[in-house]
């Protein structure tokens, strides 16, 4: 690619500037808007549009190898590109589980062949993600972004201590799905008013925050870099806020759906079922406060596609998990920025800067940087329609919602990987 993107508001450093973005091969140059370019360079007019560094999502399920019918690395990364993401971290809920080098290579081969954006795999913490034996973290360390048993909380204190000590030695992050199994009690939605009114079994908030509290003690003891996945309740926000003040090396994420919906919005439909569940309005408001004050470092989608058959069994019997890559920015922009809760700059911080810095993926826009960025029309309003998605999954509570902010182009590695509306 040899072209210039002109007339956009470009996020450079920590603010927006009226500059040009010149792409030559796989790198960018940031140029004064008055620059005159030689013949042969095509110009893309982005008047009224915004250019952001590519978003980074540290929590996606690409489902391959093992569950191609739910998603593939190709369709998942196409979905990411359409959402403005150039960097995604793939969770280890796979078959085979990436708990050793041979299993990981099965995934890496597909990534090399089919990925449309940059994909960074997780290695599992334990063999088979079953919590019993530590995986071969040392052999995986230089090929994975971090270690996680996502989908399963590590129940044993001693196993998590061993994992953290080894991750500390290897200078890697432990990214924890926090869930105390004995507190689940067969629940599948939040243990709140909706569950009580409709005869559903609830998942208590303590099942999440109790394990976070345990892990924080272990992280303080071991000095491990610790990251908490998909927090959903007010107690988790408070515990993490206090841990940060105490100097623990901790970051955390939440997902767009926890900032927009609560259990008051539940319907008897599988597209409202995920783990952790949508919790109370008070929890939702605490999460938003955590975004505002910096307790919550980043947005991650927990993009978790399933087949239509798996998601069409109602609220009780559907599989847990929803898709989110194609709606993440628009959902957060509409909910948080347009309402004046946070600035657009803050949204870019939590969708690009913070995850990129913590997980050492992606990069800002600057002279000589890789050409990984996305172009958005923030005035574009649309109704979410799952039939338009590029992911194989369709289940999301955002179906039918009016959102602002449409991705019209994503460039990754100097190549256009998604385009809509720019000719």
Residues with catalytic annotation?
A: 302
Q: Do 229 and 300 contact (CB within 8 A), yes or no?
A: yes
Find where tokens 């140029």 sit: 31
Sign of CA dihedral 138, 140, 145, 151: negative
What is the distance between the alpha carbons of residues 335 and 337, in angstroms, rounded to a whole number?
6
Residues 6+ apart with CB under 8 A from 301: 57, 59, 60, 255, 256, 323, 324, 325, 328
Q: What is the DSSP letter of 268?
A: S
Question: In 3D, which of 363, 408, 423, 422 has the Cα closest to residue 82?
Answer: 408
**Token match 């003891």: residue?**
221
* Residue 153 vs residues 130, 184, 223: alpha-carbon distances, Å: 9, 12, 20
Q: Which residues of 319-337 are buried (b: 16+ CB within 10 A; e: fewer)?
A: bbbbbbbbbbbbbbbbbbb
What is the token pair recorded at 82?
Answer: 């359409």
Tell me the C-alpha distance between 120 and 177, whole Å: 18
The angle at the Cα of 157, spanning 91 to 61, to the nearest 5 degrees, equals: 10
Cβ–Cβ < 8 Å for 167, 137: yes
Helical H runs in 20-156?
73-82, 101-114, 137-140
Beta bridge partners of 28: 23
What's 35-57 look like in SS3?
A: CCCCCCCEEEECCCCEEEECEEE
Q: Report the alpha-carbon distance of residue 218 to residue 178 in Å, rounded.
A: 13
Per DSSP, what are the bridge partners of residue 10? Answer: 17, 51
């Amino acid at each position: 690619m040899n072209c210039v993107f002109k007339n956009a508001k470009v996020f450079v450093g920590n603010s927006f500037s009226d500059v040009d973005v010149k792409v030559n091969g796989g790198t960018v140059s940031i140029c004064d808007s008055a620059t005159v370019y030689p013949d042969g360079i095509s110009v893309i007019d982005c008047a009224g549009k915004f250019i952001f560094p590519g978003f980074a999502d540290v929590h996606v399920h690409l489902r391959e190898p093992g569950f191609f019918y739910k998603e593939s690395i190709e369709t998942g990364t196409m979905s990411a590109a359409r959402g403005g993401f150039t960097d995604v971290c793939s969770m280890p809920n796979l078959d085979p589980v990436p708990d050793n080098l041979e299993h990981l290579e099965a995934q890496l081969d597909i990534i090399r062949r089919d990925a449309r954006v940059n994909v960074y795999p997780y290695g599992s913490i334990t063999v088979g993600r079953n919590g019993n034996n530590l995986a071969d973290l040392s052999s995986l360390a230089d090929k994975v972004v971090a270690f996680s048993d996502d989908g399963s909380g590590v129940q044993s204190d001693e196993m998590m201590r061993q994992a953290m000590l080894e991750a500390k030695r290897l200078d890697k992050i432990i990214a924890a799905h926090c869930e105390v199994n004995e507190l689940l009690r067969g629940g599948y939605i939040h243990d709140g008013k909706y569950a009580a009114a409709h005869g559903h079994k609830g998942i208590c908030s303590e099942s999440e925050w109790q394990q976070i509290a345990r892990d924080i003690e272990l992280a303080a003891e071991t000095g491990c870099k610790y990251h908490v996945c998909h927090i959903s309740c007010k107690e988790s926000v408070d515990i993490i806020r206090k841990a940060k003040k105490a100097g623990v090396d901790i970051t955390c994420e939440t997902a767009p759906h926890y900032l927009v919906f609560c259990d008051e919005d539940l319907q008897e439909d599988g597209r409202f079922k995920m783990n952790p569940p949508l919790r109370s309005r008070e929890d939702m408001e605490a999460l938003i406060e955590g975004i505002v004050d910096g307790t919550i470092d980043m947005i991650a989608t927990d993009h978790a596609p399933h087949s239509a058959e798996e998601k069409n069994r109602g609220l009780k019997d559907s599989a847990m998990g929803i898709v989110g890559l194609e709606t993440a920015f628009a959902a957060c922009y509409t909910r948080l920025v347009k309402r004046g809760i946070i600035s657009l700059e803050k949204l870019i911080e939590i969708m690009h800067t913070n995850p990129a810095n913590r997980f050492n993926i992606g990069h800002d826009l600057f002279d000589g940087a890789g050409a990984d960025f996305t172009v958005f029309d923030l005035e574009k309003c649309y109704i979410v329609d799952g039939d338009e998605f590029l992911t194989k999954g369709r289940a999301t509570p955002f179906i039918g919602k009016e959102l602002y902010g449409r991705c019209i182009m994503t460039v990754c590695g100097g190549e256009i990987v998604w385009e809509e509306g720019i000719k």
